[in-house]
């Protein structure tokens, strides 16, 4: 496998890419079958109160430098009508988790290799990992939709705003089949997301709008078919604080209006505290801690969560020196077989050299993957 410093010989690299092609070709072949019977991808929810359940999801990227385990055995669920916040640093797999759910992974390198994602659409339950592409097109937009991070790049610069939102409505056969009905609905949607001059904006191009306005358009597109689940991938990272406050306020209001769930992906703990009911903390492709927002913020338990909270300066709380987590994230290609956080952890013990720690429940909703709370292992 790859050497310590990350450099590979040409021979080694060719061997890896040959192996990768074999694996991905097999997976792609399975995926591209025609006429897959419904029985293969319809399942039952574990808890019918949930909109989405992730169970042991593994998403790998087969790169020429080795296999990157972007999402490695992730399990959590999004309850109906609630907001779940996913926090973590860049590269921890939070975006890949959401892309797996939408089946928008960069294929053929990116593949879901194991696990299940169950989506509850009301009458049917789909296992996304096995759903064929043709059915996915029906699910995307209608039952779940995504708000992307960069409002500058997620709109097409050569089409008018109105045409882009209309397209969503016409494509998904949402009851607005004619051009006139779609236009009427689009203007309604634009008003709903707080655009004052909605008729004017309908005929504008994306470059004529500011960042905050563009993000509103993206939100309007995501909400067009009243989805059950909205995935917001860093919706406010590219925006100013004042605009961020407007957008968060808007999302909160709209969630209640159409009664859907939100999966909010961000690295800003402040945004999470404000929006989320449940919080999932990810590190290097794994969930290290999960619980209700109150539990995570009042009683952070994993050393990584504690470090993350301490390293963010808070207005009104003066400290001389910020806490900083030493070291850096391990190389995603050669993940160690012990706890991924061990080398950066200031609370490590002898038992941390063992296998990756299992999940320990601190309360009914609060679970953490750390030997600190494992009484047996500490003995």
Measured from the CB atom, the residue of 117 and 281 that comes closer to another protein is: 281
Report in angstroms how near the CB of residue 258 gets to another protein at its nearest: 21
Distances (CA, A) of 89 to 59, 252, 305: 18, 24, 11
φ and ψ at residue 372, rounded to 5 degrees? -55, -30
Distances (CA, A) of 206 to 155, 203, 215, 233, 244: 7, 10, 10, 20, 19
Q: How far apart are CA 300 and CA 279, in angstroms?
A: 11
Report in angstroms how near the CB of residue 270 gets to another protein at its nearest: 3
Residue 115 three-state SS? strand
Q: Can you tell me which of 10, 37, 48, 313 binds another protein, judged by CB under 8 A? A: 313
Contacts with another protein, 46-65, as mask; x by CB under 8 A: --------------------
Report in angstroms how near the CB of residue 353 gets to another protein at its nearest: 23
Binding residues for another protein restricted to 324-343, rule: CB under 8 A = 324-325, 328
Q: Can you tell me which of 307, 342, 357, 372 binds another protein, judged by CB under 8 A? A: 307
Give the tokens for residue 339: 């706890």
The window from 47-55, 130-138, 160-168, 303-311 that contacts another protein (CB under 8 A) reads 303-311
- Neighbour count for residue 229 (Cβ, 10 Å): 23
Give the tokens for residue 153: 């790049």
Measured from the CB atom, the residue of 212 and 227 that comes closer to another protein is: 212
Measured from the CB atom, the residue of 154 and 292 that comes closer to another protein is: 292
- Is there a contact between 95 and 135 (Cβ–Cβ < 8 Å)? no
211 lines the binding site for another protein (CB under 8 A): yes
Report in angstroms how near the CB of residue 299 gets to another protein at its nearest: 12
Decide the pairing of beta strands 286-292 and 360-361: unpaired
158 lines the binding site for another protein (CB under 8 A): no
207 lines the binding site for another protein (CB under 8 A): no
For the chain, how long is the longest CA-to-CA vector? 71
Report in angstroms how near the CB of residue 249 gets to another protein at its nearest: 6
DSSP symbols for 175-217:
S--SHHHHHHHHHHHHHHTT-SSHHHHHT--GGGS-HHHHHHH
Q: Can you tell me which of 96, 165, 230, 308 binds another protein, judged by CB under 8 A? A: 308
Binding residues for another protein restricted to 238-297, rule: CB under 8 A = 240-246, 248-249, 267-274, 276, 293-294, 297
The window from 182-190, 207-215, 334-342, 370-378 that contacts another protein (CB under 8 A) reads 207-215
The window from 54-62, 124-132, 206-214, 362-370 that contacts another protein (CB under 8 A) reads 206-214
- Is there a contact between 58 and 115 (Cβ–Cβ < 8 Å)? yes
Cβ neighbours of residue 325 under 8 Å, at least 6 residues apart?
A: 304, 307, 308, 311, 344
152 lines the binding site for another protein (CB under 8 A): no
- Is there a contact between 116 and 101 (Cβ–Cβ < 8 Å)? no
Calculate the CA dihedral of residues 263, 267, 269, 270 and round it to 10 degrees: -90
Give residues in contact with another protein (CB under 8 A): 89-90, 210-213, 240-246, 248-249, 267-274, 276, 293-294, 297, 307-309, 311-316, 318-319, 321-325, 328
């Amino acid at each position: 496998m790859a050497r310590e410093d990350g450099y590979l010989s040409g021979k080694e690299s060719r061997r890896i890419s040959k192996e990768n092609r074999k694996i991905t070709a097999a997976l792609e072949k399975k995926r591209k079958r025609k006429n897959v019977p419904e029985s293969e991808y319809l399942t039952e929810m574990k808890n019918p109160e949930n909109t989405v359940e992730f169970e042991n999801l593994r998403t790998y990227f087969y790169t020429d430098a080795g296999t990157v385990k972007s999402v490695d055995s992730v399990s959590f669920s999004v309850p109906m009508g609630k907001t779940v916040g996913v926090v973590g640093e860049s590269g921890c797999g939070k975006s890949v988790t959401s892309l797996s759910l939408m089946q928008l992974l960069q294929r053929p390198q990116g593949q879901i290799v194991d696990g299940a994602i169950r989506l509850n659409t009301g009458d049917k339950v789909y296992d996304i990992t096995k759903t064929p592409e043709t059915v996915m097109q029906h699910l995307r937009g209608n039952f779940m939709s995504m708000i992307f991070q960069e409002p500058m790049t997620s709109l097409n610069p050569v089409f008018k705003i109105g045409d882009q939102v209309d397209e969503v409505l016409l494509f998904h056969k949402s009851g607005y089949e004619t051009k006139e009905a779609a236009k009427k609905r689009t203007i309604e949607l634009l008003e709903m997301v707080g655009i004052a001059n909605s008729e004017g904006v309908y005929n504008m191009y994306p470059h004529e709008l500011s960042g905050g306005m563009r993000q509103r358009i993206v939100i309007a597109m995501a909400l067009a078919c009243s989805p059950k689940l909205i995935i917001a991938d860093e919706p406010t990272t590219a925006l100013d604080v004042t605009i961020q406050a407007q957008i968060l306020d808007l999302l909160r209001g709209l969630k209640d209006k159409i009664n859907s769930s939100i999966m909010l992906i961000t690295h800003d703990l402040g945004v999470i505290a404000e929006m989320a009911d449940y919080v999932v903390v990810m590190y290097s492709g794994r969930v290290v801690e999960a619980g209700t927002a109150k539990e995570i913020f009042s009683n952070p338990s994993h050393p990584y969560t504690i470090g993350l909270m301490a390293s963010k300066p808070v207005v009104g709380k003066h400290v001389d020196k910020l806490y900083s987590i030493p070291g850096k994230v391990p190389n995603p290609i050669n993940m160690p077989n012990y706890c991924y956080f061990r080398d950066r952890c200031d609370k490590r013990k002898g038992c941390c050299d063992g296998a990756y720690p299992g999940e320990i429940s601190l309360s009914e909703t609060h679970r953490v993957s750390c030997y600190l709370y494992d009484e047996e292992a500490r003995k």
